[in-house]
Structure 1
Amino acid sequence: MSQSMTDTLIVPVALGDRSYEIAIGQGLLAEAGQRIRAVNPQNRLIVIADAAVAKIHGAKLNASLDAAGFRTDVIDVPAGEASKGFQTFSGVLEKALALGIDRRTTIVALGGGVIGDLAGFAASVLLRGLDFIQIPTSLLAQVDSSVGGKTAINAAAGKNLIGAFHQPKLVLADLDVLDSLPRRELLAGYAEVVKYGLIDRPDFFDWLNENGQAALAGDKALMAYAVAECCRSKAEVVAADEREAGRRALLNLGHTFGHAFEAEAGYDGGLLHG
């Protein structure tokens, strides 16, 4: 296993004047300030963070943002799917408004798919739309929910039924944060990785058979390649069908039944998305 830092891979998402890049590599939390500064000339950030993730990675992110000259406030959200509902969403909106945001404020999501969806949807409606940065901290979020602009919260009738399409300005997928994931969470994300091999990239599926276990065991170069391949696949689909009028529905493989199972289980963590 290589002990050196991997090169940062860049995957573009081509959407005209709403195009953005996905950066995949190590040490990106420490570089977040300068990378966000490159796409965001404004100084005000609101970080919406998974409270558990913030305890582990928040200080590094905040130091980077401070060094880049940003004025930052943090809204912590309890970990777990139960936070992706009306009550938490409303609370996030009220806290953001109380902090005195304006149209030059950028929302930053620090966490897994729950936080990315929650923060992205909040960004889409606050002041009729604010810029948005994704910093996904789970494998599942790095290869799926942070890419493509789908944001949503859950309803009693089902998962992800209330939301909006709101593309981020930048996605930073720091592979180092995956080291803090429980094994079960990592495997849930890996299920989504395998999905891309099934629906779009048979050569990648063969590659996973050869290299997947080593990537899961901590080989960062292999994991970087896997995450980048997934993001390339999704970026191509999103560029061709942003609003899911046709081909993008392929990305829902496994989700139709999976969402029903999660809803029936009450979003209590008994069933993971992957």
Structure 2
Amino acid sequence: MKNIIKLILKYHFTIFFILLEIVAFSMIVQHNRYQRTIFFRQSSSLFCHISSYISDIGEYFNLKVINEKLVAENTGLKNTIEELKSSHPFVSIDTSKSEGDYLYMNARTVNANFNKTKNYITLDKGIVNGIRKEMAVTSRDGVVGIIQNISNTYAVVLPLINTNLKISAKIKKNGYYGSLQWDGNDYRYSYLNDIPFHVDVAQGDTIVTSGFSSIFPEGELIGFVETVDRETANFLTIKVKLATDFGKLSDVYIVDNRKKEEKETLEKVSYDER
């Protein structure tokens, strides 16, 4: 209280001057129609701008909640589609997924890097959430990678931008398939290999998962053809611009193929009988 009194005594002339200015301005506005109209018009405009800024700030801080709700809703829709495909196998559903019985779970990235040759992504879901090794990971944009290691509450993903990962991919328009593997350079691009020289492929063609593995559903978007190198005699070297932007990855979907064990067991028995 003493400090406030000292402050008032120190600046009392300035305070008194400001008060007089306020009183004078108030009297001008009250007794002059033109000035009063201008004042209220400008005040209204100012308050509208302030209100708009406050509203924008509120919406910005609410984006995280809205995004989480949208991801949850999208996960539910994906699971509904898979249930419909399982219960009505003869009904045509407009999706690019295979007829496998897949379960989608949403998760968030809690750590990631994309500037090394052996990149990894950490998710906020683990064993307690039903996560297992070798589950597929996708985003709303496209394929992300495969679950490599798990703990009770976290999972580490081996992404497409890790030179150790190779997945089966195909050209959507004609079905020719090969192996997709990153070369360790630009995180925005990968390479589709083992495509025969005679195959018709051009810039802009869509590259998707082949569905041959028991990890990814068929038709998950990987990216788009950037360039085609025809210099080799037998196979094309196809540069693919990845659909997923690993530089700003946040929300993802973990994909569980509930028929994976059945398929792999059957294939193992078949191979052993050779």
Q: Which structure would you say has the larger RCO, counting Cα contacts within 8 Å and 6 or more residues apart? A: 1
Q: Which has the larger radius of gyration?
A: 2
Bigger share in strand: 2
TM-score, normalised to structure 2, is 0.26
TM-score, normalised to structure 1, is 0.26
Bigger share in helix: 1
